Structures are given as C-alpha cells and as structure tokens.
Structure 1
Amino acid sequence: MTNAAEQLVELLDLERIEVDIFRGRSPQESLQRVFGGQVAGQALVAAGRTTEGDRPVHSLHAYFLRPGTPGVPIVYQVERVRDGRSFTTRRVTAVQRGRTIFNLTASFHRPEEESFTHQLPPARSVPDPETLPTVAEEVREHLGELPEALELMARRQPFDIRYVDRLRWSPEEIEGAEPRSAVWMRTVGPLGDDPLVHTCALTYASDMTLLDAVRIPVEPLWGPRGFDMASLDHAMWFHRPFRADEWFLYDQESPVATGGRGLARGRIHDREGNLLVSVVQEGLFRKLTR
C-alpha cells in the first residue's frame, strides 16, 4: 500500500468466511479503543455485500456497545431482515473475542423517479478548502514543529481535514464560543469507482470530528483533554450520490449537552451546496480525574 487512502480501501475489504459472516482487520494502534468509524464502515460493507448492487444504502442506525480492542479481528454477522421490491434491510452484529461490541441496521433503496425535490440552503458560506491550512500546518504554526506522534498520525490519516474556523488552543479562545464546527474533508487519494466503498469511507469519516461541536464551548480541541468521550449511537441518511475522494463540507452543531451526554448533528454538502448526507450522534462525556 502506497498511501493512507489505499490502506483505508484495504481496511474496508472484508474477508468473507461464510455466506453472511465477514471478518475485518483491526490495525494495532496506540489508541485505547478501536475507532468507531472503522467499525461502522466495516459493518456497512458487510451489509452491502449481501444486497443487490443496484440498491444503494439510504440510512443506517447504529449503537456502540463496547470498546473494541485494537489489533484483534472483528467478525461481522449479517441478518437478512427483509428483501422487498423497493427496500432491503440488513442487521449487522460486530463481535470481538466472543462479545458484541457494535450493532447496525441499514436500509437499502432501489432508486426511484423523483416526485418532487427541495432542500434548505447551507447554514453559512465558507472559504474554499484550498485556501485553508491542513491540521498539520496549523499545529506546526502553533508549536513550531509537529510532534513525532502527530507526524506518524498524519501520515496514517486517510482524510485531508481542513477546519473552516482556526483551531483554538487556550481557554481564553473558547470563551463565548458556540457549539458549532465545520471541516472540509476528502480522502488523501483516489478510492476507485465502487459506490459502496465511497459510502463506507464517508461513514468512517463521519465519526471523526462530529463530537467536536459538543466540546468547543468547554475546552480547546487541541491540547490536554479534560473529558473522556465515546460515541454512543450514530445515525446517517444518504440523500444523493457522492465521492468521498472529492471535497465535501461537514457542518456540525450540538443543540444540547446534559446528563453527561452531548448530541451532535452534521450536514454534509458538496462544493455546489447540495446536501449529500445527514448525520446525528450522541456521545458520552465524563470528566477525567488526574
């Protein structure tokens, strides 16, 4: 593999070990738990591999039940819930070391002629991605150099991420900040032409920055964390075809945080302002004790 985008395609290429059972690789990393977007993306691959190719996914609903262990393979068991004339439904259970860590229900829809169409415009206008610095460039500008751990992470990152608003580094900078964030994203290389790969790659990316919107009023996004956070559930609705290796804008907001949980909503647009995907996620937030 020559770049992180190709490594992502390999990560999403599951091994079929039975008719409706797949095995996914889980890279050995320094993270405490397997990245949730990886599990969601792989589970959607498993679901899609059991459906007819002319029915793209239109929605998914998932729960993160237990943290996954890096370096240990994950087995995905698919249940064929329904095969109808227009809709196909699949339920996927992700198992690691004999325990369920994640489950997902996905619905696939045969494309139909539009009866009508409408869309609210994007919430705000933003600069083009080419005019914005990469995360690595912002960190280098602030720290003078990129720490070795972040350098390694940047080389392995399959997505080019560019924050619309400059990163905040101190408590003073977050004072009065609204719970909103927006990033431009695309994979660092081409993904090929399989629509399922692009859908699953974007599903992977949808878990990367969404909970930032919850944290922004509380602590800087970069620097020591004051909270342990984890994704609890995740829902996505896919409205239009797209390519994850072309720029898309991920506009995120948090309408509420209470009871140790924060809710985040995301809208993914293409460069022309077309709404591609809607995302909702709730995360758990607990103060770290040092």
Structure 2
Amino acid sequence: MADYHHGELTVQHRAGLRDPASGSLRAIRDAVPDAAAEFLARQPMIVLGAADAAGRLWSTLLTGEPGFLGVPDPRTLTIGALPAADDPLGPVLRERGTQVGMIAVEPATRRRIRLNGTATPEADGVRVALDQVIGNCPKYLQRREYVLLPPDRGGRRTAIRRGEALSTVQQLTLATSDSFFIATASPDGDADASHRGGNPGFLQVLSPTRLRWPDYAGNAMFLTLGNLELHPRAGLLVPDWETGALLQLSGGAHTVWDDAGAAAVPGAQRLVEFRIEAVQETQDAVRLRWSEPDFSRFNPPVAPG
C-alpha cells in the first residue's frame, strides 16, 4: 500500500481531516485493474506532466486513435505517441528515466484515472513503469463528445508563441475556460497530474503573470496541494476544445490559507495562486475537437467580476 508524504499529511491535517490515512489510501494502487485497462484502451488522449531539463514543470497532451494507450501488464502503460520536439516536454520524454504524472479523462462519461511512474522512450512512444494508479471522482468535469481529425486536417502545429507573460487574448482564453490540468511533483521528483474544472470564470486572471483558482471539495487526498506544500512549482495545460490549440504555462504555485478570501468565492475551501514564468501556445497542436460542454452539476456558481 502507498503512503502519504509529509506535504500531503500536512495539508490534510490543516484542512481538518481527523484520520487522513484511513480509507483514502485504498484508492491508490500500484497496478491497473482490468476495468481501468479497458477504459484506457478507449481513450484518444492522455495528459502528461513532468519537469524539463531546467527543472520547470509542464503539462502536455498526447493523442491518438483509441488503442494508442495500452496495458501490456498491470504495472506498465504504453503510449503510442511522443510530444513534438518543440513541446516543452519533447526533449525529456526522449530520455530514459523521466518521472511522469498522467491523467486520462473521458469527458463523455466524466470518468478519469491518474497514473504516475517512470517513462522510457520507445520507437513510436513511451513505456511507463507504474508506481501509482489512482481513481478519481467525476466532479467538475464537463461532459463533451470528441472527433479525431485525420492527420492531414489536424495536429499540424501551425504556429508557436513563447513568452514570460500572458497576452491579452491568452488572458481572455483563461478567464473563459472551464477546465485545465495541473502537473506538480514532490521534492524527490515524483510527478502527478490532475484536472481542475468549473464554470467559466472559475479561473481568475489577476494580471498577465498571476492566476488564482478555488480549490473545491474533492477526494480529500490532497495530492496536488501536498506536492505544492513541499515543492511550490507547477505546470498548467489549458486545451482549446474547439481548435486543438494548447496553452502551456510553467511557474510557481502555492495554497492560500485565507478563510475570508475563500469565503468570498462560491464553493471554495481554499485558494491556489500561480505565478507565470514561461508560456507556450501552440495552434492546431492536436487532432482532437470536442463538442460544446454540458457543465457538471457540481460546479459552484462563479461570482460576478
């Protein structure tokens, strides 16, 4: 059985959990159950988080025809894709021994599963030796249906923009988004990837280099916030569900333990702030296109302004 590290236990206790190690640890496995293997085989995408060569955390999106994710044995995940060479994680995923956190989501059913381990490149993708397999609840995931465009119609990476702050258009993209993914890691480098969702406006843009979002009630394991407690770095991924563009952000993040501030945000138990240090936006990055969202009934309302 897995165990929580010091940062996760610290956050659990600060959040008021009386006995954090009982019960929730059973959701963390070291092998993929048969039902999860079948789920993964149906998916056309997986989000992957890791650190680049400079130690900055990033998240990226890998896509393919259903079946590109495989489970040859319960402790191994194969991914039949690699990030493009110009992706922030392209170089490190072509090296052996990269610690990765992953999350596969199925918006049509609001199911998801997280998988963490160590990646080794293969001829056409990545093989990951798994050490954590984590089931997640369906809250805050918007229902969508997908279309996977043929290679000659999508995923051509038509333009890449890099910077250290958000443009005006990028700020608008974030302020109207309903979903993003976040990669974090422990001080030992154990990576994790997670989903955050809500009604448009739940992700606040405070300035071209500062974001804030509410931490809603979840599975009470606090894996993301536990990592931030010890290693306040993160990588955000905001996919454009309509165009296949990806907005990737890397920087510092921390939990704001301010009861008054959280009380002003509907549904928030606490807040998280993110300081942007690097931005990469890639147009037509992936072949996936998604329908308009059916918003989760669990999404709290967003306060005006």
Same fold by TM-score greater than 0.5: no
- From the two aligned structures, give the one with the greater strand fraction: 2
TM-score, normalized by length of structure 2? 0.29
- From the two aligned structures, give the one with the greater helix fraction: 1
TM-score, normalized by length of structure 1? 0.30
Highest relative contact order (Cα 8 Å, sep 6+), 1 or 2? 2
